[in-house]
Structure 1
Amino acid sequence: MSIIIGFPRIGEHRELKKALESFWSGKSSQNDLQNVAKELRKKHWSYQKNLELVSVNDFSLYDNVLDLAYMLGAIPKRFQQYDGLEQYFGMARGLKDSLACEMTKWFNTNYHYVVPELSRTDSYKINPTKIENEFKEAKALGYQPKINLIGLFTFVALSKIIDDTDFEIIFEKIKNAYFELLDTIKTFDSNLTIQFEEPIFTKGEDKRFYDKIKDIYNQIAAKGFKTIVITYFEHSTEATEILCETNIEGIGLDFIYGEKNLSSLPKIAQSGKTLYAGIIDGRNIWVANLENKLKTLEKFSQYLPKNKIILNTSCSLLHTPFGKDSEIKMDKEILSWLSFAREKITELEILESVFRNGISPSIKEKWEKNISINQNRKVSTKINDKATQERLKQPIKTQRESAFKDRIKLQHKALDYPILPTTTIGSFPQTPELRALRQSFKKGEIDSSVYEKGIEEYIKDCVAFQEEIGLDVLVHGEPERNDMVEYFGEQLKGFVFSQNGWVQSYGSRCVKPPIIFGDVSRPAPMTLKWITYAQSLSSKILKGMLTGPVTILNWSFVRDDLQRSDVCKQIALAIADEINDLQNAGIKIIQVDEAAFKEGYPLRKENIKTYEEWALYCFKASVSVAKATTQIHTHMCYSEFNDIIKTIEDLDADVISIETARSGNELLKIFADVGYSHEVGPGVYDIHSPRIPTKEEIIKQIRLLLEVLPKEQLWINPDCGLKTRKWEEVKPSLKNLVEATKEIRNN
């Protein structure tokens, strides 16, 4: 018996993305959108037909946390005047007069969830329609469903309490709504399995709710469900011990990223519960070594009978691409090393068969093929680069040539920017015409001269627009870049790219992560040509735009045969080479984005120090080549900074820009509290929403920022890059940003 925790929902060819964007732009109806969603669910269930149960409610039109908030009636007051999909999407994307809910990263992944807002004054009225419809769809198609549901503890712990209400009060209100939802679900079927996902348990003991776990799950089990509690991304030994004392049927543990879960096996065995063993990696894309997996399962069977072990993915396959069928251009040897969502289901089925029945004649060829692939990868000459390995053995510079207080004086003199300097994070709209130009060039339909002429024209227009509205520090707009990581990976040795390896980031936003299969180095400059061209068009300063080593690592599928820290060091040296080329070519400000720095943090406190040490080392190794007069900027996304502010200080970037638009000045306060001395660019408007902020809104936001930090320390910018927005949104928004800043300066 085997199951998966969840399946990707965006579609093999991003069908959901296209349907969503068509609906949002008014080109298709709600029925059209729902029909696409229904067809995707049908297709995705068909791939799970040989598993014990298919996953229901893992599908979402935007985000599963948002789905649960919507089902529980946790609707912020500013959206209560709306209903249906307008209300649902409004919470995620914002509406004309209503700011969207915050988004942040789902634990230490690159997936974003919409943060629920909870309040004492809210009343919660459930809406179970989504679960009911999807359950009935699966049953009508002949499948036996398990309902995937985010656990009560994870939902409340990840929510934002927007008033001063005690956690206890909010928890009780949400618990009542959650139990009401479960009572409704119970009416769907007398023999029902619910998978309660509680990844919050992997973060260790939480005094707010740990004393409630036993009672809550006993109450849930008493409702008559086959109750499975699943944790993933790390070990959850503390919570597992409590769950063993409850009346639930099974416990799911991640044995890929939570090795210490092994210590829980005796307790699970003693409790008589079923182990849902997360044995196939749900987050990375390398072919499983099924021989080693079988040995691990045999160890499990020393504690539990085989009929008490259900094979499982380590987490939802949401974090992996759909399948390899479309990958016809990749090097065949490297492709053979990869396993996407569909292939992982096949791996589960093979492993399940051998674990239960041994190597039967029908499975022998597949088993031997897996052994051969893993052996070939281990000895392949494509992986090792002696020059890169030798360079890592040499001393690496990790300190700037002078202290910040001295550098910043030199920079102010050389750069001569005003108080409250205005800029953007880097990217400008990726128009359909621009994407078509890049695609035509990649397909060989146009030659390099036509392609480069198109890129030059975009950069000219972009620079001219920024000069026209009066921005102080300009960018070239990044028209040549498909993605902030993919662009660099395409020019670095040791990387390979899929054609269709899309993974959902949030809503309709998808990324195609690079695949790091071997040693990394930089054969040639990556950004020099276009930034020097852009700088030639203006007397104003143009920022060079790079992606930092930690973000490139965290937003890639990383080889699993080398320590992540060592891979990151290789990338850092490549970025250092690029910075040196840029400053020698006269680029005076260089932004090294570390948007994913925080999301790489371990979930367990005891592992944080080690990560911080090597991540900090790698960032500093990449930027310490910069001269004192070269100003280094960095950018971080979706981060709570309270717990990493010391590390941010240690980065020693001259300017850091952060996302604060959805949270007022709350995130910024920690910078003031610790006496942060470097310059900061808090986002003054939210680029993840299509709404255009007024000048008055931005003035209000700047004034909030000035309550926290002095004007001499602040930069004014949007809270992230503008590539996903349209020009008709960007132009008035940035114009309002500049005018608002000027008004503040003059008052």
Structure 2
Amino acid sequence: MATKSAVLGFPRIGPNREVKKAVESYWAFKTSAEDLEAAVKQVRKQRWQSIADKGVDSIPSGDFTLYDHFLDAANVVNAIPERYTKSGLSALDIAFAMGRGRQQLDKGIDLHAMEMKKWFDSNYHFVVPEISPSTQFKLNKNKYLDEYNEAKELGITTRPVVIGPITFLALSKAARDAPAGYEPLSALDSLLPVYVELLQQLKDAGVEHVQIDEPVLVQDKGESLGAEFAKVYKKLSEVSPKITLTTYFGRLGKSLDFVKDLPVYAVHIDLDRAAQQFDEVVAAVKPTKLVLSLGLVSGRSIWKNDLKASKEKAEKAIAELGQDRVVVSTSSSLLHTPVTLTSETRLTDEQMSWLSFALEKCDEVAVLAKALNGNTTEAFEKNTKDIAARREFERNSDSAVRDRLAAITEKDLKRSEEFPARRAAQVEYLGLPKFPTTTIGSFPQTKEIRVARAKFNKGELSKEDYEKAMEQEVETVVRFQEKCGLDLLVHGEPERNDMVQYFGEQLNGFIFTQLGWVQSYGSRYVRPPIIVSDVSRSGPMTVRWSKYADSLTKSPMKGMLTGPVTILNWSFPRADASREVQCKQLALALRDEVADLEAAGIKAIQVDEPAIREGLPLRKADWDNYLEWAVASFRLSTAVAESKTQIHSHFCYSDFNDIFAHIKALDTDVISIEASKADMKLIQTFKNEGYNSGIGPGLYDIHSPRVPSEEEMKEKVKTMLEILDANNFFINPDCGLKTRGWTETEQSLNNLVGTAKWARATYA
């Protein structure tokens, strides 16, 4: 028997972002639903064929999506809130409305988007289903079967990828009509028959093997669900094709005690993010008949796999279990990596030899399986040489950066005065009114901005002309803010391509791709920079733009920086240094930038950390170490500021109730949070924890094109002020405005300022 290879999932964006272009064209009413389907059908064909051409045995299907795979799962099982089904929209438009909202007031349509959260500890956002006792589960169109048949017509046999029923409910939230204390997992008995029908249809269609993803098993709460897993998988195994139960991003832990006894064909474990579980899992499954799928090729990093080391580990498993009971695989879906290196022209040959994107990882999996089956190819030998060359490069270091890092003391992590003294100084220095208004930083990135940047990058526009164009954009943003009546202004960030990439391009220690796009949410893609060596700052990165904006107005100007934890988490980090070391090196670079902004007369500085919660380890036992260095890194960045300089930070998807003490420990003067779609539970936490600094709970959802009315915002403020202190209350959107158009931005911000004026009059 031969050892097989598998890939758990693949990017769904297309090698040249074809899906983004097709979806956004449809949203703009430029193309039809039929045009959209024709375009994405070509992408699906291409991705299946490209994986098959690499020689991978188990090729995923059903993981493709136009917006979000978890949103798709909700639609498959009919977990669709009534407000969407009553809209009169098509099934396709209902799905998009659930993800991004929809506003057509002339047709009586005004739908908010559903809440989004981070997919475990990744930068991918999933749409959170809403479940209540009134949810009528049923099998809508079976997309998993449809995509399997579509691939089969192309002559490609695939393994459908299905979100498991327990993970689906565990990551859902109680709907608005659910009674207090309702838990979505209580709906498991109602949902289970839908999965039985879904899997029976797959089996009847000739599907031999299905992948069911249950990543909740790597979280603490998964360990308490043994009875539910036993019941569910007993029932599913009776009707399903062979099941590979898939976990990723962490270790099984105590869940292994019951997972090893489940009536499934195979269990998959992540040996990239949780290599320490290898021996324990092998020993646990050895007495059973389970096949073990080894996640040896990283689905999260872009570094070339050390095939020799992976082969040695797989051989240990084979020695214990036998050749036919071991599968080699990616550790998770490859959606977290760019599509392919083949189109890259920006990287040097040396840099290319270090890296492996999604398509190359498919090749690595197949080559590894061949080597385990006695066929050590030329590709395997080349991999060994490339890994050795990378290890040699890793021996280099910047002694100045290392020495500065070693010299950090506790004093470097503390502001010169405590918050009450800082607040008094800031009241006088900034002169802000009660309920001060501000934005989170970015303003719309118009077509003109993108065209100018593209021409500059191609050498078709001189640096002088490019900077003049950006200055004009900055002035437009400043004049609008003055006219609108905002209190604490920003320069709008027209010169920035991305909130992380922009800084990476000005720091030593990073390299960058040309087409290394990764999906963040919906049609929003990013190009994460790659950290390859010690990080340092060559000179000021943002001062020129903030200083120019400040010269245009008498209103206070807020400088905008991305925090060290977020730059780290939204980059591909190096593998040869700890995340703590990399984060603190970033913090030192940002510390110098804070000092330079302050010296340039910038009165407030926002250091964004939207990824601080995202980076939290999945097991609570692992939290303390991460939180200690994450908080220290932020404080290292900001503690250099004088008392009169107001330090802000922003947090997206701020599900940080459990770590609130550490949020307080950041010692910011003002924090803004995503709160437009969240319930009041988080807001209540600020009161319960005695948070006395400034707080700006976002009043409207910038991820949606809908414009919230002034009355809608007033109602939010009323509710929030039943909990929060009016004297600490800032009024702002819930995130940056980069992805929005100018018309909706102007309308929304005018309504926001109107809300602030009302609040000052009402709560004087």
TM-score (norm 1): 0.98
Once the two structures are TM-superposed, the CA of residue 381 in structure 1 deviates from its matched residue by 7.4
Question: What are the within-5 Å matches in structure 2 for residues 133-212 of structure 1?
Answer: 133-162=146-175, 163-164=178-179, 165-167=182-184, 169-189=186-206, 191-206=207-222, 209-212=225-228
Aligned to 2:571: 556
Please state if 1:52 is matched with 2:57. Answer: yes
Please state if 1:343 is matched with 2:360. Answer: yes
Aligned to 2:273: 257
2:747 alignment partner, SS class: helix
Once the two structures are TM-superposed, the CA of residue 185 in structure 1 deviates from its matched residue by 3.0
C-alpha deviations, 1:231-277, integer Å up to 9, x for none?
00011132233122122100000011112321111121211110111
Q: Within 1, Cα distance between the matches of 2:396 and 2:7?
A: 31
C-alpha deviations, 1:304-334, integer Å up to 9, x for none?
1011101110000000000111111212212
Q: Within 2, Cα distance between the matches of 1:718 and 1:382?
A: 45
Once the two structures are TM-superposed, the CA of residue 664 in structure 1 deviates from its matched residue by 4.4
Aligned to 2:373: 356
% identical equivalent positions? 43
C-alpha spacing 1:381/1:504, structure 2 compared with 1 (3 Å): closer
Aligned to 1:130: 143
* Structure 1 residue runs without a partner (length 5+): none
Aligned to 1:91: 98
Q: Within 2, Cα distance between the matches of 1:279 and 1:149?
A: 21
Q: Is the 8 A contact 1:237 1:260 kept in 2?
A: no
Q: Is the 8 A contact 1:516 1:558 kept in 2?
A: yes
Q: Is the 8 A contact 1:202 1:231 kept in 2?
A: yes
Question: What are the within-5 Å matches in structure 2 for residues 389-428 of structure 1?
Answer: 389-396=402-409, 397-428=412-443
Once the two structures are TM-superposed, the CA of residue 112 in structure 1 deviates from its matched residue by 0.3
C-alpha deviations, 1:101-156, integer Å up to 9, x for none?
00010000000000000011121232134223211111111111111001111100
C-alpha spacing 1:531/1:597, structure 2 compared with 1 (3 Å): same
Aligned to 1:443: 458
- The structure 2 residue matched to 1:22, chosen from 11, 20, 25, is 25
Once the two structures are TM-superposed, the CA of residue 538 in structure 1 deviates from its matched residue by 0.3
1:474 alignment partner, SS class: coil
Q: Is the 8 A contact 1:641 1:670 kept in 2?
A: no
2:584 alignment partner, SS class: helix
Q: Within 1, Cα distance between the matches of 2:156 and 2:375?
A: 27
- Mean Cα deviation higher: 285-294 or 462-471: 285-294
C-alpha deviations, 1:575-626, integer Å up to 9, x for none?
0000000101111100000011111010011100010011111111111111
1:488 alignment partner, SS class: helix
Once the two structures are TM-superposed, the CA of residue 286 in structure 1 deviates from its matched residue by 0.5
Once the two structures are TM-superposed, the CA of residue 477 in structure 1 deviates from its matched residue by 0.3
Q: Is the 8 A contact 2:144 2:161 kept in 1?
A: no
Aligned to 2:490: 475
Q: Within 2, Cα distance between the matches of 1:342 and 1:355?
A: 20
Aligned to 2:560: 545
Aligned to 2:107: none
- Length, aligned pairs only: 742
C-alpha spacing 1:71/1:683, structure 2 compared with 1 (3 Å): same
Once the two structures are TM-superposed, the CA of residue 166 in structure 1 deviates from its matched residue by 4.4
C-alpha deviations, 1:709-741, integer Å up to 9, x for none?
011011000000000000011000000100111
Q: Within 2, Cα distance between the matches of 1:27 and 1:174?
A: 38
Once the two structures are TM-superposed, the CA of residue 395 in structure 1 deviates from its matched residue by 2.6
2:111 alignment partner, SS class: coil
C-alpha deviations, 1:325-353, integer Å up to 9, x for none?
11112122122101000111111111111
- The structure 2 residue matched to 1:219, chosen from 211, 230, 235, is 235
2:126 alignment partner, SS class: strand
Q: Within 2, Cα distance between the matches of 1:369 and 1:192?
A: 35
C-alpha spacing 1:699/1:319, structure 2 compared with 1 (3 Å): same
C-alpha deviations, 1:463-489, integer Å up to 9, x for none?
000000100001000000000000000
Please state if 1:655 is matched with 2:670. Answer: yes
- The structure 2 residue matched to 1:593, chosen from 592, 595, 608, is 608
Q: Is the 8 A contact 1:382 1:518 kept in 2?
A: no
Letter in 2 for 1:219: K
2:372 alignment partner, SS class: helix
Once the two structures are TM-superposed, the CA of residue 573 in structure 1 deviates from its matched residue by 0.2
Aligned to 1:66: 71
Letter in 1 for 2:171: L
* Structure 2 residue runs without a partner (length 5+): 104-109
Please state if 1:643 is matched with 2:646. Answer: no
Q: Within 1, Cα distance between the matches of 2:99 and 2:360?
A: 32
Please state if 1:115 is matched with 2:128. Answer: yes
Please state if 1:503 is matched with 2:518. Answer: yes
Q: Within 1, Cα distance between the matches of 2:183 and 2:664?
A: 32
Q: Within 1, Cα distance between the matches of 2:543 and 2:395?
A: 28
Letter in 1 for 2:75: Y
C-alpha spacing 1:132/1:681, structure 2 compared with 1 (3 Å): same
Q: Is the 8 A contact 2:144 2:162 kept in 1?
A: no
Once the two structures are TM-superposed, the CA of residue 533 in structure 1 deviates from its matched residue by 0.2
Aligned to 1:292: 309
Aligned to 1:579: 594
Please state if 1:80 is matched with 2:80. Answer: no
Q: Within 2, Cα distance between the matches of 1:554 and 1:166?
A: 31
C-alpha spacing 1:213/1:80, structure 2 compared with 1 (3 Å): same
- Mean Cα deviation higher: 609-618 or 235-244: 235-244
C-alpha deviations, 1:42-86, integer Å up to 9, x for none?
000012212212211010011111001000000011101233111
Q: Is the 8 A contact 1:494 1:520 kept in 2?
A: yes
Aligned to 1:238: 254
Q: Is the 8 A contact 1:383 1:517 kept in 2?
A: no
- The structure 2 residue matched to 1:488, chosen from 478, 484, 503, is 503
Please state if 1:724 is matched with 2:731. Answer: no
Letter in 2 for 1:181: L
Aligned to 1:522: 537
Question: What are the within-5 Å matches in structure 2 for residues 679-718 of structure 1?
Answer: 679-718=694-733
C-alpha spacing 1:648/1:53, structure 2 compared with 1 (3 Å): same
Letter in 2 for 1:122: T
1:725 alignment partner, SS class: coil
Once the two structures are TM-superposed, the CA of residue 205 in structure 1 deviates from its matched residue by 4.3
2:717 alignment partner, SS class: helix
Q: Within 2, Cα distance between the matches of 1:443 and 1:689?
A: 32
C-alpha spacing 1:148/1:43, structure 2 compared with 1 (3 Å): same
Letter in 2 for 1:93: R
Q: Within 2, Cα distance between the matches of 1:341 and 1:432?
A: 30
- Mean Cα deviation higher: 481-490 or 671-680: 671-680
TM-score (norm 2): 0.96
Once the two structures are TM-superposed, the CA of residue 206 in structure 1 deviates from its matched residue by 4.0
Question: What are the within-5 Å matches in structure 2 for residues 366-385 of structure 1?
Answer: 366-380=379-393, 383-385=396-398
Letter in 1 for 2:372: F
Aligned to 1:333: 350
Letter in 2 for 1:223: V
Q: Within 1, Cα distance between the matches of 2:421 and 2:233?
A: 58
Q: Is the 8 A contact 1:241 1:264 kept in 2?
A: no
Aligned to 1:11: 14
Letter in 2 for 1:647: H
- The structure 2 residue matched to 1:101, chosen from 114, 130, 133, is 114
